[in-house]
């Protein structure tokens, strides 16, 4: 769909001429004043377009940031889970180590008490064992048992000490893994915080951009109101004109090309998002395609006309007029009398346009009307 500034089309009121110019100087001054307003509107619209383009880029960047934040959140949750698991393993290993230390202390205490008893009793213990023995064989057996008991205590003590060393090593390894998990968690948290910060700054920029867009939209609205006021002035001047060419709108301006890319009627403005009246029809065609007059009439404007770019306005008399916008080249001049089907210019993409096409309007009494009603 081709872009135009619909409200500026109200300046098209100059199309109402119906005869020779009686107040040419005053009419020219009004038209020039309206052109000046159109140029100002174009400048503001250009700034608004730039803001919109910037906003679109920021929104895309925000979408990317949201995706990155989502991924960072998942990563952070994974790192947090890994850290929690590592911490739980360290805690369990420390408890196991503590239990093993207590078991080792108890075993050491028991062995010390046994050794101390043997040391303190000395030979008495052996004599006691001897007197308690029923025979030499029983005595030897008892002595061997006592020796084995001490050896077993020492072996058990050695085993516990080995297990303690193994648990200590495992605990240190788990702590290292936990610390690494904590570092990864910190990195993930920092990455998410940075993304959140960027997203916050982007939201502030978008809010400022939106405010600036609204201010420019307000300026455009005011300029359009001013243009409308000038348009009414032009209509009043043109009502004072007498005579003139009288013709009818019946000739399709681009014979053989009937595709309409944007019809007459209300549509959502591509820049402001507001619903605006599209005051004509857009007819796509290659650059250089000949444009024909829709009917007999007098050229009351031929030149650059703001959003319309190179444009021609033909007065067909009795309040009916047509406009042909975005031309690459104009083939008529102000004041020319033209016939239906006469070439008045060539298709282009000047002014507010996104591609080569003809913007064609029909107005009656200064009010836009659907051009297709004339070609049923």
Are residues 184 and 263 both part of a single domain? no
d(CA 81, CA 68) in angstroms, rounded, equals 20
Are residues 331 and 232 both part of a single domain? no
Predicted local distance difference test score (pLDDT) of residue 76: 86
Are residues 138 and 220 both part of a single domain? yes
* Host domain of residue 91: 23-242
Of 182, 372, 199, 153, give the one whose Cα is nearest residue 282. 372
Element spanning 36, H or E: helix 24-121
Are residues 93 and 198 both part of a single domain? yes
> What is the sign, positive or negative, of the torsion defined by CA atoms of 45, 47, 48, 54?
positive
Going from the C-alpha of 263 to that of each of 241, 256, 260, 307, 364, the distances in angstroms are 32, 18, 6, 18, 18
Residue 12 lies in a domain: no
- Whether residue 122 is predicted with pLDDT greater than 70 in this model: the reply is no
Residue 244: what are its φ and ψ, rounded to 5°?
A: 105, 170
pLDDT tens digits for range 289-336:
999 999 999 888 888 877 788 989 888 888 788 889 999 999 999 889
d(CA 260, CA 372) in angstroms, rounded, equals 10
pLDDT tens digits for range 185-215:
888 889 889 888 888 888 888 888 888 878 8
- Whether residue 340 is predicted with pLDDT greater than 90 in this model: the reply is yes
Sorted by sequence, the CB contacts under 8 Å of residue 112 that are 6+ apart come out as none
Number of domains in the chain: 2
User: Residue 38: which pLDDT band, with cuts at 50, 70 and 90?
Assistant: confident
Are residues 220 and 273 both part of a single domain? no
Residue 336 lies in a domain: yes
- Whether residue 47 is predicted with pLDDT greater than 60 in this model: the reply is yes
Q: Which of 242, 257, 287 is the last residue of a domain?
A: 242
Of 348, 350, 373, 376, give the one whose Cα is nearest residue 264. 373
d(CA 91, CA 96) in angstroms, rounded, equals 9
Are residues 314 and 222 both part of a single domain? no
Q: Which of 211, 227, 242 is the last residue of a domain?
A: 242
Residue 170 lies in a domain: yes
Predicted local distance difference test score (pLDDT) of residue 15: 41
Residue 147: what are its φ and ψ, rounded to 5°?
A: -65, -45
The pTM for the full model equals 0.49
Residue 120 lies in a domain: yes
Predicted local distance difference test score (pLDDT) of residue 137: 62
Residue 334 lies in a domain: yes
Predicted local distance difference test score (pLDDT) of residue 359: 92
**Which residue(s) pair with 177 in the sheet?**
none
Predicted local distance difference test score (pLDDT) of residue 316: 87
* Mean pLDDT, the chain, whole residue set: 77
Are residues 231 and 288 both part of a single domain? no
Are residues 184 and 60 both part of a single domain? yes
Are residues 148 and 270 both part of a single domain? no
Are residues 253 and 201 both part of a single domain? no
Predicted local distance difference test score (pLDDT) of residue 347: 97
Residue 269: what are its φ and ψ, rounded to 5°?
A: -65, 130
Neighbours of 36 (CB within 10 A): 14
Predicted local distance difference test score (pLDDT) of residue 115: 62
Give the three-class secondary structure for 7: helix
Are residues 333 and 278 both part of a single domain? yes
Q: Which of 242, 263, 290 is the last residue of a domain?
A: 242
Are residues 52 and 32 both part of a single domain? yes
Give the per-residue SS3 of 72-111: HHHHHHHHHHHHHHHHHHHHHHHHHHHHHHHHHHHHHHHH
Alpha-carbon dihedral angle through residues 216, 222, 228, 232, given to the nearest 10 degrees: -160
Residue 18 lies in a domain: no
- Whether residue 254 is predicted with pLDDT greater than 70 in this model: the reply is yes
CA 130 to chain CA centroid, nearest Å: 98
């Amino acid at each position: 769909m081709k872009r135009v500034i619909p409200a500026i089309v109200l300046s098209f009121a100059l199309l109402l001429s119906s005869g020779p110019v009686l107040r040419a100087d005053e009419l020219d001054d009004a038209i020039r004043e309206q052109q000046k307003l159109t140029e100002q509107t174009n400048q503001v619209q250009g700034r608004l377009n730039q803001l919109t383009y910037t906003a679109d880029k920021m929104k895309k960047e925000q979408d990317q940031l949201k995706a990155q934040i989502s991924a960072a959140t998942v990563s952070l949750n994974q790192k947090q889970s890994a850290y929690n698991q590592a911490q739980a393993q360290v805690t369990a290993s420390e408890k196991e180590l503590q239990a093993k230390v207590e078991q080792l202390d108890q075993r050491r205490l028991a062995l010390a008490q046994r050794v101390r008893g043997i040391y303190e009793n000395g030979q008495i213990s052996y004599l006691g064992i001897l007197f308690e023995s029923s025979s030499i064989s029983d005595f030897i057996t008892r002595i061997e048992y006592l020796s084995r008991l001490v050896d077993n205590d020492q072996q058990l003590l050695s085993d516990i000490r080995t297990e303690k060393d193994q648990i200590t090593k495992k605990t240190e390894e788990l702590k290292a893994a936990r610390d690494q998990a904590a570092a990864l968690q910190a990195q993930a948290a920092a990455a998410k915080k940075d993304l959140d910060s960027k997203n916050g700054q982007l939201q502030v920029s978008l809010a400022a951009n939106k405010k600036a867009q609204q201010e420019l939209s307000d300026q455009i609205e005011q300029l359009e109101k001013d243009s409308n006021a000038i348009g009414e002035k032009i209509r009043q001047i043109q009502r004072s004109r007498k005579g003139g060419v009288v013709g009818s709108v019946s000739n399709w301006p681009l014979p053989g090309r009937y595709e309409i890319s944007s019809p007459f009627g209300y549509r959502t403005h591509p820049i402001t998002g507001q619903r605006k009246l599209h005051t004509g029809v857009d007819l796509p065609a290659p650059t250089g395609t000949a444009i024909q007059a829709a009917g007999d009439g007098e050229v009351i404007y031929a030149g650059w006309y703001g959003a319309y770019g190179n444009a021609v306005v033909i007065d067909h008399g009795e309040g009916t007029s047509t406009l042909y916008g975005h031309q690459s080249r104009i083939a008529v001049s102000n004041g020319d009398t033209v016939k239906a089907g006469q070439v008045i210019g060539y298709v282009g993409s000047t002014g507010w346009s996104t591609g080569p096409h003809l913007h064609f309007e029909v107005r009656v009494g200064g009010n836009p009307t659907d051009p297709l009603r004339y070609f049923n």
